[in-house]
Amino acid sequence: MTRTVYVNGEYLPETEAKVSIFDRAFLMGDGVYEVTSVLDGKLIDFDGHAARLARSLKELDMQAPCTTEELLEIHRKLVEINGIEEGMVYLQVTRGAAADRDFVFPDPEEVKPTLVLFTQNKPGLADSPAAKKGIKVISIEDVRWGRRDIKTVQLLYPSMGKMMAKKAGVDDAWMVEDGFVTEGTSNNAYFIKGNKIVTRALSNDILHGITRAAVLRFAAEAQMEVEERNFTIAEAQAADEAFITSASTFVMPVVEIDGAALGDGAPGPRALRLREIYLEESRKAAI
Ligand code: PMP
């Protein structure tokens, strides 16, 4: 089935959707994005993603293409038209297509932002086999720019990180800066020791994960404490459990870090419990 996608006010078959070669996201990586999960045909954490989008736009002096209410309507319409029960909605806003290639930002009165949304159908997203097995990660150096809190489309290094992981025969990579883990290539990173969940504190060094915020809120329900601080790979390797979070993986257990198995090498009970709570609460709050 041909997907219906959204481009600048129009719902079109994916084969007919077009963006200018002068679009600044194409030429300069000058764009931001969000990924919102869909479960039971409903949007998970939409308000969080919309709020983070607004923040990314503001930090880059970029215009909002429309209101949050309009964005919600577009999300819902695409989910409905494309019959998505489980999957994702990808949204991208760019600084638009100026008349020519120029480093200087175009006048926002003259050049309107580009807004693109499309769905990705992922049946079985919540009941993922990976969550039952857990994932293995390697550590790599974090060489990204200094504003990782802004969700830009500049994903070349995370993409290279995934390739390094693939080459090493594992699933993903955790990035390390000045000896401390920042985050995963496309997710936030955590370990569990005893009753405590440890994850890096929010700053410009990491993306402020929407799933992270929810999981830390639900930690109390799992009778767990949260400590937000820097940690090393060695500390995570010596932990009881580890996991990652993102909108598309929810809570995903990590069973191996740089070749060292955690516990007995199977997903830990607390990470699995957090996943269960997250899915349950998110389904309840989905819109
Ligand atoms: N960190 C990075 C670098 C990411 O790319 C992502 C997901 N896009 C996350 C963390 C997780 O964020 P969220 O829970 O909002 O998907």
Mutate to test the pocket of ligand 1, among 32, 150, 154, 187 (most ligand atoms within 8 A of CB): 187
Q: What does DSSP assign to residue 22?
A: T
pTM above 0.95, yes or no: yes
pLDDT score, position 221: 83
The reply to whether 193 belongs to the active site is: no
Binding site membership of 210 for ligand 1 (Cβ less than 6 Å): yes
Half-sphere exposure of 176 (CA within 13 A, CB side): 17
**What's the helix, strand, coil split of the chain in %, to 5?**
30, 30, 40
Buried b (16+ CB within 10 A) or exposed e, 107-146: eeeebebbbbbbbbebeebbeeeebeebbbbbbbebebee
Mutate to test the pocket of ligand 1, among 53, 145, 207 (most ligand atoms within 8 A of CB): 207
210-218 vs 46-59: helix axis angle to the nearest 10? 130
Residue with tokens 């996201």: 25
Which is nearest to 91 in space by CA: 71, 66, 117, 67?
A: 117
The dihedrals phi and psi of 190, each to the nearest 5 degrees, come to -145, 155
Ligand 1 centroid, distance to 222 Cα (angstroms): 22
Binding site membership of 161 for ligand 1 (Cβ less than 6 Å): no
Q: Which domains does the chain have, with CATH numbers?
A: 4-121 (3.30.470.10), 129-285 (3.20.10.10)
The dihedrals phi and psi of 54, each to the nearest 5 degrees, come to -60, -40
Helices (H), the chain: 24-28, 46-59, 68-81, 129-133, 156-167, 210-218, 233-237, 269-285
Token pair listed for 279: 């899915």
Give, for all 287 residues of the chain, the pLDDT tens digit: 799 999 999 999 999 999 999 999 999 999 999 999 999 999 999 999 999 999 999 999 999 999 999 999 999 999 999 999 999 999 999 999 999 999 999 999 999 999 999 999 999 999 999 999 999 999 999 999 999 999 999 999 999 999 999 999 999 999 999 999 999 999 999 999 999 999 999 999 999 999 999 999 999 888 899 999 999 999 999 999 999 999 999 999 999 999 999 989 999 999 999 999 999 999 999 99
pLDDT score, position 57: 98
